[in-house]
Amino acid sequence: MEDKTRILLVEDDANLSMVLKDYLEMLGYETVLRNDGEEGLEAFKENEFSLCILDVMMPKKDGFRLAKDIRAINADIPLIFLTAKSLKEDRIAGFKAGCDDYITKPFSTEELSLRIGAILKRSEIQYRQKKIPDIFELGTIQFDHKNMILIHGGKDYSLTRKEAALLKLLAENKNQLVEREYALEKIWGSSDYFIGRSMDVFIAKLRKMLKIDPNISITNVHGTGFKLEVSDN
């Protein structure tokens, strides 16, 4: 099938992980399998996924920590936790960590299939509702993110790939805070100090470009992130 739904499966039980991978692929899902939390995070950074299935108890990085790192990169990706624990406290911890569903072992493959289908259907509806426009209207500026250009007064201003990606993220959240760590993980895949300094340079470049409309600004929220502010005046 074309454009298969890709699932990230992170499970350290060798036998269970292979059974689940084979079953998911039989259902038609492209499945990427990793056996610990650190490998799972690297795989997530390298590919686009529609859904993640994460074991809770894993070496190097447990499922809760992995979920937090994944959410920092993509706040909307659906997550399912697999766990041998059935305590109420663990289920609450799972949902606090951002999961969409929580399945206690042992479980049937049919149950897993139905839950995946329900989550993907819900996610597809939400995606359609939040569909990103081809061109953002920012005051008197048009931002064509696919072609990486700003259009103003009949003139085109070219952007680099990183500039366009950063402005797209800000435009999607116009007049709302975009957390610094989230932007770094989303665009650069890392939030270390030196990459953070690099992002500051890109923010400065975007500010300079957007000065062509005095009603547009990118403001710093100290120690937290940035906000693309577009006034109606």
DSSP string over 86-114: --HHHHHHHHHTT-SEEEESS--HHHHHH
pLDDT single digits (tens) 1-51: 345 789 999 999 989 999 999 999 999 999 999 999 999 999 998 888 989
* CA neighbor of 133 nearest in space, from 144, 147, 122: 144
Other Cβ atoms less than 10 A from the Cβ of 102: the count is 21
Residue 97: pLDDT band (50, 70, 90) is: low
The whole-angstrom separation of Cα 66 and Cα 59 is 11
pLDDT in tens, 161-209: 999 999 999 998 888 888 888 888 878 877 677 788 888 999 999 999 9
How far is residue 51's CA from residue 120's CA, in Å, rounded to a whole number?
Answer: 8
Which pTM was predicted?
Answer: 0.55
Query: Worst-scoring range by mean pLDDT, 85-94, 140-149, 160-169, 201-210?
Result: 85-94
Dist. CA 214–CA 233, nearest whole Å: 10
Question: 71 or 164: whose pLDDT is higher?
Answer: 164
